[in-house]
Each structure stands twice: as structure tokens, then as C-alpha cells.
């Protein structure tokens, strides 16, 4: 396990606390003062005990620039999701099933595990691709309509838009 | 009818159409990887749109927050479970259905299963 | 409004029927689990819609818990098929 300085611990604790408190408010869907009080105590204790386990990032994730890029990422992702579904709908409905499946691979520049997880999840929900495995920095992707087996070109087709934004966040 | 109900009704219709397409895709596709593709994508957007539609149709902020929780949860959990299933199926020894002639080149994951000691195929 | 809800339920039922055929027919265990996952997602949506129709807010919590349990079930079966359990 890595050793953390006090400042890093404090940053992770605060990020955890804010995130868990948001989840608490969403689950209880009320602003009554006793609910908020119990929520503050419970989520504070949980984030105190899970500093090492349950954290992706330190306090710098809350800076306005990064939050702007997160919202931008949500936009990019939503557009890709809708495109993906129209694509799937076209393939499912058409009588002769226009598919040419195969597995391709490419390398990513992302470093942290959380960034790779977000990228893999996004790839699964975007047009015609399904992430099968990540080995170190190589992604293995099942592609429903293979256009190229060259790793660089496959990377350009599948993941470039997402990675550009993710590199700014993580 | 209020505007909330009109927007909610449209979203509910879109969502149910995509849920239906997810079921149809699961039925029609030739092998498990393609079934996962159709099933995951179509049902994810279908469920998200339908639940958001219900939240908007009811129109109170409790409903909208709660439907938002379920939407976020589905958006995170569905891709993870489909990824786990895809890897498990491959390690179980099922090879993807490949249409083109060049079968070696179209299956890049095989090299990992053959060389990586952590990802051995399961003896069935 | 009523007609939209009837239409939604009809479409969801058709989806459930197709997924259930795959669940019964599916040649491998993996196919059955995929069908089960799809059935879970459709059921969660149906529960939320029912909550709106019956005006019972608590059904939404039921749907959330059902989604969580279905997800955990799929992950456990996948890990088992992989030989990791």
C-alpha cells in the first residue's frame, strides 16, 4: 500500500464525504434537518474508514476546470450513446443482420485505474463496441462491424474522442 | 395535459421501443458477444429514457431525484456486468462468431489467453 | 396518456417474451445469463412505471434494490464461469 501524507488523506476524505453526502440526499430525497444530520454523521464515518479503499482522486478533482470537462464528457457520452442505439436498432431490425464481428486491440495513454474503467465503460456503451479485457494499457474490444485491425486506426475510430477529454480530467 | 406529461410520454415511448429492441436483439443475434452488444446498449438507453420519462411525468423533485439515482446506477452497472460476462465467456472457451475469412487476425484476444498465466482458459 | 402506458407495457412484454425464449433456448450458460440480465433491466423499468401508475413511491426503492441484486447475481455467475470462485 502507498503511504499518504496528511494533506492527501484530508483531500480524499473531503472528496469522499461530499460525494457520499450527495448520494445520501438523492436516496432519502428530503432536506429535513434530522435526516441531514444523520447523513452527515454516517457518511463522515464511512469516508473516515474508507480513505484507502474507496477513493479515486484527491481534492483537485473539485476544481471548476475539471468539473467543466466532466460535464463536457457527459455531453460527448450522451451523443455517442444515442448514436450507438440507433446503430443497434438498425442492425437488429434489418432482415439480413449486417454484421462483421471480430476482436481488435489498441493502446491507451491513460494511467490511473479509474480513468481506464471510465473509458472501458464508455466504450461498451458506444456504437458497436464492447470491451472484453484490459491488460496493463492494452484494451481488447469486440467490434460488431470491424473496419480495421490496425491498433492505431482502431484507436482513432473507437476511443480518441473520449480519451482527449479524460486526459484533462484525471 | 401538461407539458410535463407530454415530454414524459414521449420519453416513455422511446424507452419502451428500445427495451423491445433489446429483447429482439438478444433473440436474433448469432453468438453471445453480439447478443451482449445488442442487449446492453439497447436496454441501457431504453431503461434510462423510460425512467427519466416517468420522473418528468410525475414532475415533483422527489421523483426526478430518485429516477436520476436509478439512471446513474444503470449507466454504471450494465456495462460492468456485460464486460464481466464477455470475459468469462471467452475464458470458458467460446470463440466469437467471425464472418470474414481471416480468422486469426480478427481475434486479437487469443494471444492473451495463450500467453498470460493470469488468464488461463477454464477446463470444462 | 393511458394509451401511451398501454403501448409501453405491450412493447416491454414483447421484449420480455423474446428474452425469455433466449433464456430457455440459449445453448450455453452465458447466453442464459445475458437473457437474465436483460430481463432484470426490463423488470426494473416496468417496476418504476408501475410505481407511477399506482402512485406508490416505495416501488421505486423496490426497483432500485432489484437492480442492485440482479447486478450482483450476474457478476457472481460471471466470476464463477471464469473459474475465479
Q: Break chain B into its structural domains and give their ranges.
A: 3-115
For residue C47, what pLDDT is reported? Answer: 92
CA A87 to chain centroid:
22
Other beta carbons within 10 angstroms of residue A78's beta carbon come to 13
Rounded mean pLDDT, A140-155: 78
* pLDDT value of position A100: 80
B19, pLDDT greater than 70: yes
Flag if B45 and A81 touch (Cβ within 8 Å).
yes
Per the model's pLDDT, the better-predicted residue between A29 and B105 turns out to be A29
In A50-97, alpha helices (H): 64-93
pLDDT at A1 over 60: no
- What average pLDDT does this structure show over A96-107? 80
- Other CB atoms within 10 A of residue B28 CB: 17
Name the pLDDT band for A56 (thresholds 50, 70, 90): low
CA proximity to A131, closest of A153, A112, A116: A116
Nearest Cβ partner for A88 among B38, B82, B87: B38
Q: What is the pLDDT of residue A55?
A: 60
What is the rounded CA–CA span in Å between residue A103 and residue A146?
A: 8
pLDDT confidence bin for B116, thresholds 50/70/90:
confident
Q: Given this model, what pLDDT does residue B124 score? A: 65
Q: What is the mean pLDDT of residues A136-160?
A: 78
Question: What are the sequence ranges of the domains in chain A?
Answer: 6-61, 64-169
Ordered alpha helix ranges (H), C27-57: 29-54
Q: Which residue of B has its CA nearest to A104?
A: B108
The interface predicted TM-score of the complex, written ipTM, equals 0.88
- CB contact set of C76 (below 8 Å; sequence gap of 6+): C85
Which residues have a Cβ under 8 Å from the Cβ of A59 and sit 6 or more positions away? A10, A11, A12, A14, A15
pLDDT band at A111 (very low <50, low <70, confident <90, very high): confident
pLDDT at C22 over 70: yes
pLDDT over 70 (residue B111):
yes
Contact B55, C45 (CB under 8 A): no
| Average pLDDT of chain A, as a whole number | 81
Q: Residue B86: what are its φ and ψ, rounded to 5°?
A: -65, -45
Q: Above 70 in pLDDT, residue A54?
A: no
Choose the closest CB to B43 out of C14, C42, C57.
C42
- Look at B105 and A10; give whichever has higher pLDDT: A10
Q: Residue range C39-65: average pLDDT? A: 90
pLDDT band for C10, please (50, 70, 90 cuts).
very high
Shortest Cα distance, chain C CAs vs residue B111, angstroms: 17
Q: What is the pLDDT of residue C69?
A: 92
* Non-local CB neighbours of C43 within 8 Å, separated by 6+ positions: C16, C66
A94 against B52, higher pLDDT:
B52
Tell which B residues from 76 to 105 touch A, by Cβ distance under 8 Å: 76, 78-80, 82-83, 86-87, 90, 96-100, 105
Confidence (pLDDT) at A103:
83
Give A 41-80 residues with CB within 8 A of chain B. none
Pairwise pLDDT comparison (B30 vs A62), residue with the higher score: B30
Shortest CB distance from B105 goes to which of A85, A131, A149?
A149
Q: Which residues of B98-123 are buried (b: 16+ CB within 10 A; e: fewer)?
A: beeeeeeebbbbeebbeeeeebeeee
Task: Decide which of A16 and A170 is more confident.
Answer: A16
Residue C78 pLDDT exceeds 70: yes
Q: Strands of A102-107's sheet, edge to edge?
A: A102-107, A138-143, A129-135
Higher-confidence residue of B98 and B60: namely B60
pLDDT above 80 (res B11): yes
- Give me the pLDDT at residue A59, please: 66
Cell triple for B57: 411525468
Q: Do A121 and B79 touch (CB under 8 A)?
A: yes
Amino acid at each position: 500500500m502507498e503511504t499518504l501524507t496528511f494533506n492527501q488523506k484530508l483531500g480524499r476524505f473531503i472528496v469522499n464525504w461530499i460525494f457520499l453526502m450527495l448520494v445520501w440526499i438523492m436516496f432519502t430525497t428530503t432536506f429535513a434537518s434530522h435526516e441531514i444530520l444523520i447523513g452527515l454523521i454516517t457518511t463522515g464515518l464511512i469516508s473516515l474508514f474508507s480513505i484507502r479503499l474507496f477513493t479515486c482522486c484527491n481534492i483537485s478533482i473539485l476544481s471548476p476546470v475539471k468539473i467543466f470537462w466532466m460535464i463536457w464528457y457527459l455531453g460527448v457520452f450522451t451523443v455517442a450513446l444515442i448514436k450507438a442505439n440507433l446503430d443497434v436498432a438498425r442492425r437488429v431490425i434489418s432482415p439480413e443482420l449486417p454484421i462483421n464481428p471480430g476482436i481488435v486491440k489498441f493502446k491507451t495513454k491513460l494511467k490511473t485505474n479509474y480513468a481506464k474503467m471510465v473509458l472501458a465503460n464508455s466504450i461498451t456503451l458506444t456504437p458497436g463496441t464492447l470491451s472484453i479485457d484490459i491488460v496493463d494499457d492494452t484494451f481488447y474490444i469486440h467490434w460488431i462491424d470491424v473496419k480495421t485491425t490496425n491498433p492505431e486506426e482502431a484507436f482513432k475510430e473507437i476511443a480518441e474522442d473520449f480519451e482527449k477529454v479524460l486526459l484533462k480530467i484525471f | 395535459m401538461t407539458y410535463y406529461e407530454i415530454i414524459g410520454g414521449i420519453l416513455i415511448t422511446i424507452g419502451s421501443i428500445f427495451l423491445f429492441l433489446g429483447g429482439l436483439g438478444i433473440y436474433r443475434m448469432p453468438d453471445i458477444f453480439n447478443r451482449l452488444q445488442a442487449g446492453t446498449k439497447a436496454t441501457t438507453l431504453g431503461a434510462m429514457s423510460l425512467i427519466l420519462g416517468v420522473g418528468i411525468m410525475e414532475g415533483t423533485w422527489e421523483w426526478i431525484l430518485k429516477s436520476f439515482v436509478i439512471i446513474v446506477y444503470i449507466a454504471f452497472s450494465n456495462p460492468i456486468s456485460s464486460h464481466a460476462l464477455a470475459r468469462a465467456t471467452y475464458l470458458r472457451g467460446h470463440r466469437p462468431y467471425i464472418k470474414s475469412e481471416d480468422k486469426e487476425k480478427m481475434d486479437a484476444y487469443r494471444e492473451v489467453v495463450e500467453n498470460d498465466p493470469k488468464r488461463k482458459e477454464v477446463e470444462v | 396518456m393511458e394509451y401511451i402506458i398501454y403501448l409501453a407495457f405491450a412493447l416491454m412484454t414483447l421484449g420480455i417474451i423474446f428474452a425469455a425464449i433466449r433464456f430457455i433456448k440459449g445453448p450455453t450458460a452465458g447466453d442464459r445469463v445475458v437473457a437474465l440480465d436483460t430481463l432484470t433491466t426490463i423488470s426494473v423499468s416496468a417496476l418504476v412505471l408501475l410505481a407511477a401508475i399506482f402512485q406508490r413511491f416505495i416501488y421505486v426503492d423496490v426497483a432500485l434494490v432489484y437492480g442492485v441484486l440482479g447486478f450482483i447475481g450476474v457478476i457472481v455467475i460471471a466470476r464463477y464461469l471464469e473459474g475465479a470462485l
